[in-house]
Amino acid sequence: MSDFEPKILIFACNWCSYAGADMAGVSRYQMPPNCRIIRVMCSARVRPEQVISALTQGLDAVLVLGCHPGDCHYTEGNYLTRRRGIMLKNLLETMGFEKNRFQVNWVSAAEGARFAQVVSEFVEEIKALGPSHVSRDKDTGTHA
Amino acid sequence: MSRVKVGVFVCHCGSNIGGTVDVPDVVEYAKDLPLVHYSEDNLYTCSDAGLTAIKEKIKEHGLNRVVVASCTPRTHEELFRRTCEEAGVNRYLFEFVNLREHCSWIHMNQPQEATCKAKELVRLGAAKAARLRPLEIARAQIKPACLVIGGGVAGLSAAGSLAQQGFEVHLVERNDRLGGLTVDLWKLLPGDRPASELLHTLTARVTKNDNVTLYLSSELNEITGFIGSFKATLSTPSGKKDIEIGTVIVATGAVELEPLGLYNLGKTEGVITQMGLEKMLSDGRKDLGDVVFINCAGARGPDREYCGRLCCAVSIKNARYLKEADPDARVTVLQRDVMAFGTEFETEYRKAMCAGVRFIRFSPDRPPTTIGNDKVTGVRIYNQLTGEESDLSANTVVLTTPLAADSGASDLAQMLKVPVDKDGFFLEAHLKLRPVEFATDGVFIAGAARFPADIGEAVAQGTAAAAKAAAPMFAGEVSVEATTALTNPRLCSGCATCEAVCPFGAIEITQDRHGRPVSEVNAVMCKGCGACAAACPCGAIQQLGFTDSQIFEMVRSLARDGDPSGSEG
């Protein structure tokens, strides 16, 4: 599993984290190419079912990025995200997914370096975790 | 609706994207994606040639969805949306894919992986584009009238400024006179001019302008609506009064904290607060004998963490006045730190010391205590520098207490659906970027209602809030973001979860024609965050432009469709 390349979905809020990802690009911070970003206006737009759907369809991990607590463009959306995140982690565990396959984190519009760091560390963590049971089954199903 | 035809335009951005990502390969890949009818690459899609190409291909191929895969929507979305519009395609049928900041620039040494990722990003964009629906930007008229709540210096400044610009102003003041806390002040720093002089100038701007309607001894009872058309009910001495306004400025100020019992305030005669002292000075009493000021009274502790900010300057000012009035009196300021910010207050601090005012530092662990049962006779202090306890004689003890949020602030906050912080002060949209605005459009904040502000700051904030309120009123109308929430009443169970999570009070549970509860979104108040759409257990509320169908399709496309590692193997 040493050459395992996870496929990771990131939901990034428009105002902070998506802009932080832009800043990472502008600053040419290099990071592993495992993540795909879906832009939402606020991290609170991410419906728990969307995370569950991503994992049950075989993505290896999901990361939701929002503004730092207190900085939400919509005042308190990221607090909803934080609470939903706690609930969702527990739910995912009962579905057989390791808790850390789903994480919530904060990146501001100015934090290009932090974006790169958060993404790189997340990819490393998921690599160490290996494929999820769904993506493993999917792989063995198609390539056995 | 006609058949969906997606056009994909992949940008080289010179070599910024094309130098890493195999753009022609991405174009070829895009051609085979579902509902994609046309795909091409451009050296610079944002150039005239690139934009012209988009418009031509829209017409030539009958494209009705457009995907541009280039840089970031944060800088270029508006340009491409307008281009679509010019070619007769609704601006919301455009989808952006970021191949530069989010791909080529961050995977510069991995061209194969970057190309593979670029293909997937384009696939996600096309998947979403196919599900986009046309949206219309709504416009709301703005009534050129402003309600200013509070007739202190901030409110007077705001009202005067707006009236001067020709706007109708309704100024509501709870008390029977204008001026707020400043009415009770004696002289002001810097310059030692009487506070009444300044108030006279500020008040005249308001009372002598016909654009201002003044409501004294009046309060705001109720307010509904949104930017452009608020409806407010005032309770005035002559009964209820309904007014219509386009904007609102909150300038309700603050109150001086009166921590009864602290240092025997209210129990021992001779222990007063700074406002009490200001009133005595205004009344001409300056023979207070030996005076000890105790600063940070009720501030910077576990119950009230913030620094009152102005208090040091106030104690410096009044201590000097007393010392100058009676040079034989011993005037001492007990302080935890002297925060004489800016250039003026530091100078004033020196002036007070030169006048003979003593400043002694104490520690909050061993605070001073007042001596005297019925009447105060002194203050016992542990001097942190000498490590000794000593008694100071005092005929008067003045507590320097911070400004605190008005107890009515939370009610007003609920009425206006704006936030307050943990100390009860109003909270602006952004401390640095939007300092006098609330997150709620059309509602602004000025003066000590936000945080202890001195008079200069309150006047400046009042003027700033007036300028911010004037902008939409000059424009006459406001355009409303189209990617707002929308309820499907047939799916809604009326559970009110959406109402609870909406940070803007834009959702209301109303009744449909069968009398069943149903959620209704006010599109003008909705800011389009989508929190309600994520919370709705029935999927009845959707955020337009970010619908469940669109996001789930992107997730599905990413998870289930094949890995496009492509020709490289």
CATH no. for residue B501? 3.30.70.3270
CA distance A35 to B179: 58
Decide if B326 is inside a domain: yes
* Confidence at residue A143, expressed as pLDDT on a 0 to 100 scale: 42
Decide if B502 is inside a domain: yes
pLDDT band at B525 (very low <50, low <70, confident <90, very high): confident
B530 close to A (CB below 8 A):
yes
B44-68 pLDDT, tens digit per residue, is 999 999 999 999 999 999 999 999 9
B243 and B158 assigned to the same domain: yes
**Chain A interface, best mutation among B17, B555, B563, by max A CB count within 10 A:** B555
The answer to whether the Cβ–Cβ distance between A44 and B110 falls below 8 Å is no
**Chain B interface, best mutation among A26, A47, A81, by max B CB count within 10 A:** A47
pLDDT at residue B139 above 50?
Answer: yes
- Using an 8 Å CB-CB cutoff, list chain A residues near B121: 36
Residue of B73, B98, B503 lying closest to A74 (CB–CB)? B503
B373 and B312 assigned to the same domain: yes
B20 and B117 assigned to the same domain: yes
Decide if B558 is inside a domain: no
Domain with B153 in it: what CATH number? Answer: 3.50.50.60
CA distance B191 to B490: 68
**Scanning every residue of chain A, which has its alpha carbon at the shortest distance from the alpha carbon of B534?**
A47
pLDDT at residue B183 above 60?
Answer: yes
User: Cis (ω within 30 of 0) for the bond into B111?
Assistant: no
CA distance B76 to A134: 38
The answer to whether the Cβ–Cβ distance between B101 and A40 falls below 8 Å is no
Q: Averaged over B147-173, what is the pLDDT?
A: 98
pLDDT band at B34 (very low <50, low <70, confident <90, very high): very high
* Confidence at residue B415, expressed as pLDDT on a 0 to 100 scale: 86
Give which of B201, B76, B42 is closest to B84, Cα–Cα: B76
Give which of A37, A38, A32 is closest to A5, Cα–Cα: A32
The answer to whether the Cβ–Cβ distance between B108 and A53 falls below 8 Å is no
CA A67 to chain centre: 14
Give which of B422, B546, B45 is closest to A47, Cα–Cα: B546
Decide if B553 is inside a domain: no
Q: List B473's β-bridge partners, or say none.
A: none
The answer to whether the Cβ–Cβ distance between B558 and A19 falls below 8 Å is no
Decide if B320 is inside a domain: yes
B19 and B124 assigned to the same domain: yes
Total CB pairs under 8 A between chain A and B: 130
Q: Averaged over B365-372, what is the pLDDT?
A: 95
Q: What tokens does B171 get?
A: 């100024």
Name the one residue in this structure whose structure tokens are 């992107």: B554
The answer to whether the Cβ–Cβ distance between B72 and A47 falls below 8 Å is no
B245 and B265 assigned to the same domain: no
* Confidence at residue A141, expressed as pLDDT on a 0 to 100 scale: 55
The answer to whether the Cβ–Cβ distance between A25 and B554 falls below 8 Å is no
Determine what percent of chain B falls in helix, strand and coil, rounding each to the nearest 5: 35, 25, 40
Range in A17-21, A135-139, B106-110, B239-243 the model is least confident about: A135-139
pLDDT at residue B254 above 50?
Answer: yes
Ordered by where they begin, the domains of chain A are 8-143 (3.40.50)
Q: Averaged over B116-130, what is the pLDDT?
A: 97
B316-326 pLDDT, tens digit per residue, is 999 999 999 99
Q: List B510's β-bridge partners, or say none.
A: B518
pLDDT at residue A144 above 60?
Answer: no
Give which of A22, A1, A113, A6 is closest to A63, Cα–Cα: A6
pLDDT band at B569 (very low <50, low <70, confident <90, very high): very low
Q: What is the CA radius of gyration of chain B?
A: 32
B22 and B37 assigned to the same domain: yes
A17: closest CA of chain B, how far (Å): 12
User: Could you write out the three-class secondary structure of B82-105?
Assistant: HHHHHCCCCHHHEEEEECHHHHHC
Name the one residue in this structure whose structure tokens are 């201590």: B319
**Judged by CB atoms within 8 Å, which residues 41-100 of A form the interface with B?**
41-42, 44-50, 53-54, 57-59, 73-77, 80, 84
B539-563 pLDDT, tens digit per residue, is 999 999 999 999 999 999 999 877 7
pLDDT band at B427 (very low <50, low <70, confident <90, very high): confident
The answer to whether the Cβ–Cβ distance between B546 and A76 falls below 8 Å is no
A109: closest CA of chain B, how far (Å): 11
Q: Could you list the residue range(s) of the whole structural domain that residue B396 is in?
A: 258-401
Last residue of a domain, one of B372, B401, B430: B401
Domain count, chain B: 4
Last residue of a domain, one of B401, B425, B447: B401
Give which of B357, B299, B366 is closest to B331, Cα–Cα: B357
Report the SS3 class of residue B487: strand
A127: closest CA of chain B, how far (Å): 16
CA atoms B15, B21, B22, B27: torsion sign: negative
Decide if B559 is inside a domain: no
* Confidence at residue A1, expressed as pLDDT on a 0 to 100 scale: 46
- Using an 8 Å CB-CB cutoff, list chain B residues near A31: 106-107
Last residue of a domain, one of B135, B161, B180: B135
Q: Averaged over B361-370, what is the pLDDT?
A: 95
- Using an 8 Å CB-CB cutoff, list chain B residues near A76: 503
pLDDT band at B85 (very low <50, low <70, confident <90, very high): very high
The answer to whether the Cβ–Cβ distance between A58 and B559 falls below 8 Å is yes
Q: Averaged over B349-370, what is the pLDDT?
A: 96
B18 and B153 assigned to the same domain: no
**ipTM value for the complex:** 0.95
A36 close to B (CB below 8 A):
yes
Decide if B549 is inside a domain: no
Q: Averaged over B418-435, what is the pLDDT?
A: 85
Answer for the pair B505, B417: CB distance below 8 angstroms, yes or no. Answer: yes
B354 and B378 assigned to the same domain: yes
Give whole-number Cα distances, B171 to A125, B197, B202, B203, B212, in Å: 59, 21, 13, 12, 7
* Confidence at residue A140, expressed as pLDDT on a 0 to 100 scale: 64
**Scanning every residue of chain A, which has its alpha carbon at the shortest distance from the alpha carbon of B114?**
A33
pLDDT band at B517 (very low <50, low <70, confident <90, very high): very high
* Confidence at residue B433, expressed as pLDDT on a 0 to 100 scale: 79
B190 and B314 assigned to the same domain: no
B130 and B189 assigned to the same domain: no
A52-67 pLDDT, tens digit per residue, is 999 999 999 999 999 9
Decide if B527 is inside a domain: yes
pLDDT at residue A142 above 70?
Answer: no
pLDDT at residue B565 above 70?
Answer: no
The answer to whether the Cβ–Cβ distance between A76 and B503 falls below 8 Å is yes
Answer for the pair B288, B187: CB distance below 8 angstroms, yes or no. Answer: no
B314 and B435 assigned to the same domain: no
- Using an 8 Å CB-CB cutoff, list chain A residues near B543: 41, 45
Q: What tokens does B351 get?
A: 């002036």
Name the one residue in this structure whose structure tokens are 């309060």: B219
B109 and B200 assigned to the same domain: no
Name the one residue in this structure whose structure tokens are 């809030």: B465
Measured from the Cβ of residue A17, the count of other Cβ atoms closer than 10 Å reads 32
**Chain A interface, best mutation among B102, B498, B560, by max A CB count within 10 A:** B102
B527 close to A (CB below 8 A):
yes
Q: Averaged over B270-286, what is the pLDDT?
A: 95
pLDDT band at A21 (very low <50, low <70, confident <90, very high): very high
A29: closest CA of chain B, how far (Å): 6
**Chain B interface, best mutation among A7, A9, A35, A39, by max B CB count within 10 A:** A39
* Confidence at residue B131, expressed as pLDDT on a 0 to 100 scale: 97
CA distance B295 to B397: 11
* Confidence at residue B505, expressed as pLDDT on a 0 to 100 scale: 87
pLDDT band at B1 (very low <50, low <70, confident <90, very high): low
